[in-house]
Amino acid sequence: MALNPVRWPAEAIWEAVEPLLPGFSVEVLPEIDSTNTELMRRARAGRHEPVLLVAERQTAGRGRMGRVWQDGGAPEAGELPSLMFSLGLPLAPADWSGLSLAVGLSLAESLDPDARAGLGLKWPNDLWRQDCKLGGILIETAGGGAAQPGQPPVPRHVVIGVGINVLRRPIEGTSTPLAALRDWLPHASAPETLLRVIPPLVQTLLGFVDGGFAPLLARFLARDVLRGRPVRTSDGLEGTAAGVDAGGALLVHTAQGTQAIQSSEVSVRPVSALPPAC
């Protein structure tokens, strides 16, 4: 029996975003390899118009550091197990540092505005709840170059890919247990979540272009799930997480002093004696 097609609020999103991003469009595809891969292909082919690309299935979803993003398979009872989209647009901030933290913060504040559900951020850009992963962000850029002193910033085409678990689902091979929106929002769906997160995300990006990450620092710290906890990084550093700095670098107190970790190629985990609560 054919399942009902998913109804996406493409027009409502377009109406909210187009005044902010002239030329913006919304596309929904039933299946693609990866929304990030597709928008990067388009950017390399010279297509730089702002676009939101949503996929109901991904056959080759990608995560940070070469990992795979699994979308949870076929829709259950006509519902998508996860929301997957990429937002591609040209941006020219004076300073790019902290962009991924700003994106994560915007999503967390849209999904759990008063933080009552305990939705937090795990540096640099995972959405975590009770030490379980609700979602992840993969940011890639194409084109542009370093700003020259005294010259305006050079725009780069940015592709911001987001995957958010809507339904709880078993996924093989993940080291972090998964959380889902339905854990605390019983009526959450992928289309409704998309409408909830996209307009504020665009506002956040435009604010980031003007002001960078520093104005968002205090709000990030309020959601930082690592702060004050023992952590270990993928390149062997051990210490206690001590928040992030105004450029979005993770601060870790170690026996050798405080280290600021900037690299997006480093992952960090809490060293916990307790199992995750999800």
Catalytic residues: 64, 133, 269
Strands 238-244 and 230-233: antiparallel
Residue from the set 80, 138, 158, 217 that interacts with ligand BTN by CB under 6 A: 138
Q: Are 253 and 229 a contacting pair, CB within 8 Å?
A: no
Q: Which is nearer to ligand BTN, 135 or 242 (CB)?
A: 135
Under rule CB under 6 A, residue 35 binds ligand BTN: yes
Q: How far apart are CA 94 and CA 152, in angstroms?
A: 8
Provide the token pair at 119: 């939705």
- The DSSP secondary structure of 71-117, one letter per residue, reads --SSPBTTB-SEEEEEEEEEE--S--TTHHHHHHHHHHHHHSTTSTT
Stretch that binds ligand BTN, among 103-111, 134-142, 200-208, 221-229 (CB under 6 A): 134-142
Provide the token pair at 135: 């979602």
Under rule CB under 6 A, residue 34 binds ligand BTN: yes
Strands 119-122 and 126-129: antiparallel
Give the number of other Cβ atoms within 10 Å of residue 246's Cβ. 14
Q: Encode 59-77 in three state secondary structure.
A: CCCECHHHCECCCCCCCEC
Under rule CB under 6 A, residue 137 binds ligand BTN: yes
Residue from the set 24, 51, 86, 112 that interacts with ligand BTN by CB under 6 A: 86
Under rule CB under 6 A, residue 93 binds ligand BTN: no
Contact flags string 55-74 toward ligand BTN, x per CB under 6 A? ---x--xxxx--x-x-----
Residue from the set 50, 90, 124, 136 that interacts with ligand BTN by CB under 6 A: 136
Q: How far is the CB of 257 from ligand BTN (least distance, A)?
A: 29
Type of residue at 191 = P
Residue from the set 124, 161, 191, 248 that interacts with ligand BTN by CB under 6 A: 161
Q: How far is the CB of 89 from ligand BTN (least distance, A)?
A: 15
- Closest-approach residue to ligand BTN (CB): 136
Which parts of this chain interact with ligand BTN (CB under 6 A)? 34-36, 58, 61-64, 67, 69, 84-86, 126, 136-138, 161-163
